[in-house]
Amino acid sequence: MATNESISIFSSASLAVEYVDSLLPENPLQEPFKNAWNYMLNNYTKFQIATWGSLIVHEVLYFLFCLPGFLFQFIPYMKKYKIQKDKPETWENQWKCFKVILFNHFCIQLPLICGTYYFTEYFNIPYDWERMPRWCTLLVRCFGCAVIEDTWHYFLHRLLHHKRIYKYIHKVHHEFQAPFGMEAEYAHPLETLILGTGFFIGIVLLCDHVILLWAWVTIRLIETIDVHSGYDIPLNPLNLIPFYAGSRHHDFHHMNFIGNYASTFTWWDRIFGTDSQFTAYCEKMKKIEKKTE
């Protein structure tokens, strides 16, 4: 009985999404995207797409999403949105971060990316345009990946803060007390592997097309670079997502080295009370702001 009700709910939800989708105007970018996708399939092998294509997507998007935060340091108007105003970015720190990022990307992450092709072959993950999932299905699966990754990240990240192992692995990521966007993947190689596992669990469980790999990479990079940006920008569309942690939430973690262990959402920190100091800090800041008004 319960199973039938669940199926009925999902069917109704699917029909509702399809109805909303039918009301939306035709995407003018769909045809060019289709042509580009088919051109890629006709001119490159699956191995090249899964390996070098994934690497290019990751590198281009990573540094592209880091660019706004990098430029903010040169714009006086944006300084009022910086969370830790007393700790500006320095060229020395950014150059050091850049070199470590390149090492992690090409010496740690690239070997993992090379396994993408064999993963898609083993599980018969399609590449063709005809079987590409619709945007709504893709969005739901990416959300599922985010929930899985956030859960993994919370518990493993909290474990990495244990006093017996913190100085050996996670301390590297906390080298910069005031984070900046490019620092999102600045970490010890072991941490890259440990926390990065959470990224792949959702892919293994939910991937039904190679496009999900790139869509999930895109969403994950947007999120992690945003929370490490060091800036609390008004009208940030990501803050409209229910339970989204945001930059101020994670900035507090870097500032105090404790609490706020989740990567994307706030529910695990609320459930286990690891956001209590952050909550007290926010209330204190609100009182100060009221007095200065």
Looking at the structure of the chain, the number of domains it has is 1
Is 10 within a domain? no
Per-residue confidence band for 111, with pLDDT thresholds at 50, 70 and 90: very high
> Nearest to residue 50, comparing CAs of 205, 204, 221, 214?
214
| C-alpha–C-alpha distance, residues 286 and 292, integer Å | 10
The two three-digit tokens of residue 28, written as one number = 């003018």
Is 243 within a domain? yes
Which residues touch 36 (CB under 8 Å, ≥6 apart)?
Answer: none
Is the Cα dihedral 158, 284, 183, 206 positive or negative? positive
Is 26 within a domain? no
The two three-digit tokens of residue 80, written as one number = 């009022």
Is 23 within a domain? no
Residue 11 has pLDDT above 90, yes or no: no
Place of tokens 């009925």: 8
pLDDT digits (tens, 9 = 90+) for 63-97: 999 999 999 999 999 999 999 999 999 999 999 99
Q: In what helix (H) or strand (E) does residue 13 lie, and over which residues does it extend?
A: helix 2-23
pLDDT of residue 30: 83
Is 239 within a domain? yes
**Core vs surface per residue 165-180: b (16+ CB within 10 A) or e:** eeeebbebbbebebbb
C-alpha distances out from residue 31 to 21, 34, 37, 59, Å: 17, 5, 10, 25
- Distance from chain centroid for Cα 235: 19
Place of tokens 């999902």: 10
| C-alpha–C-alpha distance, residues 149 and 84, integer Å | 27
The residue-averaged pLDDT of 91-106 equals: 95
The residue-averaged pLDDT of 190-195 equals: 96
The residue-averaged pLDDT of 166-187 equals: 95
pLDDT of residue 135: 85
User: Residue 87 belongs to what domain range?
Assistant: 47-290
Which residues touch 23 (CB under 8 Å, ≥6 apart)?
Answer: none
pLDDT digits (tens, 9 = 90+) for 112-146: 999 999 999 999 999 999 999 988 889 999 999 99
- Distance from chain centroid for Cα 91: 25
Which residues touch 259 (CB under 8 Å, ≥6 apart)?
Answer: 252, 253, 269, 274, 275, 276, 277, 278
CB 92 within 8 A of CB 251: no
| C-alpha–C-alpha distance, residues 72 and 69, integer Å | 5
- Distance from chain centroid for Cα 63: 14
Is 162 within a domain? yes
DSSP letters for 122-134: HTT---SSTTPPP
Is 42 within a domain? no
Is 15 within a domain? no
The residue-averaged pLDDT of 228-237 equals: 93
Looking at the DSSP bridge assignments, the partners of residue 244 are 265
Q: Can you count the helices (H) and strands (E) in the chain?
A: 13, 0
